[in-house]
Structure 1
Amino acid sequence: MKLIVAGSTGFVGTEVMRQALVHPAVTSIAALARRVTAVPQGAGSGADTTKLTSVVCEDFRSYSESVKRDLAGADACIWLIGLTPSEVKKMPWQEVRSICLDYTVTGLETIAQLPRDPASKSFRFLYVSGANAERDPRKKPWVLGDYCLLRGEVESHVLEHAKVSRGAVEACIAKPGLIDEPGRTGVVMKAVQTIGRSFIGLPKIDVGEIAAALLDQAINGIDTDTLLNADLVRLGQEALRARAAGRHRSP
Structure 2
Amino acid sequence: MNLIVAGSTGFVATEIIRQALSHPTVSSVVALGRREAAVPENVGPSAAKLKSVICNDFEHYSESVKNELAGADACIWTIAVTPGQLSKMPWEEAVKICRGYAIAGFETITQLPRPGVSKPFRFVYISGANTVQDPAQKPWVMGDYCLMRGEVEKRIFELAKESEGKVEASVAKPGMIDAQGRTGLLMGAVKTVMRTLIGLPKVNVEEISATLLDQAVNGLEKEVLLNEDLVRIGQRVLKSH
Which bracket does the TM-score occupy, shorter chain normalised? over 0.9
1:29: which partner in 2? Answer: 29
Residues in 1 aligned to 2:54 and 2:7: alpha-carbon distance in whole angstroms: 10
1:2: which partner in 2? Answer: 2
Percent identity reads: 60
Code of the residue aligned with 1:72 in structure 2: it is A
Residues in 1 aligned to 2:185 and 2:122: alpha-carbon distance in whole angstroms: 39
Given that 2:32 and 2:54 are in contact with CA atoms closer than 8 Å, whether structure 1 keeps it comes out as yes
The TM-score, its normalising length taken from structure 2, stands at 0.98
1:248: which partner in 2? Answer: none
Report SS of the residue matched to 1:81: coil
Report SS of the residue matched to 2:146: helix
Q: How does 1:164-243 map to 2 (within 5 A)?
A: 164-243=162-241
Report SS of the residue matched to 1:89: helix
Residues in 1 aligned to 2:81 and 2:180: alpha-carbon distance in whole angstroms: 22
Code of the residue aligned with 2:204 in structure 1: it is D
Per the TM alignment, residue 158 of structure 1 is displaced from its structure 2 partner at its CA by: 0.6
Residues in 2 aligned to 1:158 and 1:43: alpha-carbon distance in whole angstroms: 35
1:39: which partner in 2? Answer: 39
Residues in 2 aligned to 1:240 and 1:216: alpha-carbon distance in whole angstroms: 10
Report SS of the residue matched to 2:89: coil
Describe the superposition over 1:74-96 as per-residue Cα deviations: whole angstroms up to 9, x where unpaired: 00000000001121112111111
Code of the residue aligned with 1:30 in structure 2: it is V
Runs (4+) of structure 1 moved beyond 4 Å?
none
The TM-score, its normalising length taken from structure 1, stands at 0.94
Report SS of the residue matched to 1:159: helix
Per the TM alignment, residue 52 of structure 1 is displaced from its structure 2 partner at its CA by: 0.6
Q: How does 1:1-251 map to 2 (within 5 A)?
A: 1-40=1-40, 42-45=41-44, 48-243=46-241
Describe the superposition over 1:128-168 as per-residue Cα deviations: whole angstroms up to 9, x where unpaired: 00001111111110000100001000000111111111101
Per the TM alignment, residue 60 of structure 1 is displaced from its structure 2 partner at its CA by: 0.2
Given that 2:21 and 2:43 are in contact with CA atoms closer than 8 Å, whether structure 1 keeps it comes out as no
Residues in 1 aligned to 2:181 and 2:169: alpha-carbon distance in whole angstroms: 33
Report SS of the residue matched to 1:53: strand
Structure 2 stretches lacking a partner, 5+ long: none
Equivalenced residue count is: 241
